[in-house]
Amino acid sequence: MTAPKEWPLWEVFIRGQHGMSHRHVGSLHAVDAEHAIRNARDVYTRRNEGVSIWVVEAAQITASNPSKKGPLYDPAKDKVYRHPTFYDIPEEVGKM
């Protein structure tokens, strides 16, 4: 007996309203992209949660490694001059 083949896993992204970006909502199993969209509609938009669905096969996603959090994000921490609050502007200049 051969081991039964499981349907691949897909990650589902939904645009909640016009003008918003797609957001990850969860995952599901489907044989191909078309099937994944159809299942996503049933599983994730039963109450008008979206106006657009993206699906991507989970195996195609490359994720950053959580243990490398330091080397990835630390360099940004000491660059406070990237934030507007770094620059003091006198009050008489008005709103800027």
Partner 1 sequence: MYAQMIKSEATKEDPEMLAAFQARIDAGEKIEPKDWMPEGYRKTLIRQIGQHAHSEIVGQLPEGNWITRAPTLERKANLLAKVQDEAGHGLYLYCAAETLGVSRDELTEMLLDGRMKYSSIFNYPTLTWADMGAVGWLVDGAAIMNQVPLQRTSYGPYARAMVRICKEESFHQRQGFHVMMAMVKGTKDQKRMAQDALNRFWYPALMMFGPSDKDSVHSAQNMAWKIKMNTNDELRQKFVDETVPQAEYLGLTVPDDTLNWNEETGHYNFAEPDWSEFFDVVKGNGPCNTDRINTRQKAWDAGKWVREAMVAHAEKKRARDSRSVRP
Judged by the rule CB under 8 A, the positions of this chain that interact with partner 1 are 4-7, 9, 25-29, 31-32, 35, 42-43, 46-47, 63, 65-67
Say how many CA atoms lie within 13 Å of 23 toward its Cβ. Answer: 12
Q: Residue 77 or 83: which CB sits closer to partner 1?
A: 77
Cα–Cα dist 74/77, whole Å = 5
Cα–Cα dist 43/31, whole Å = 15
Q: Residue 26 or 52: which CB sits closer to partner 1?
A: 26
Q: Residue 32 or 89: which CB sits closer to partner 1?
A: 32
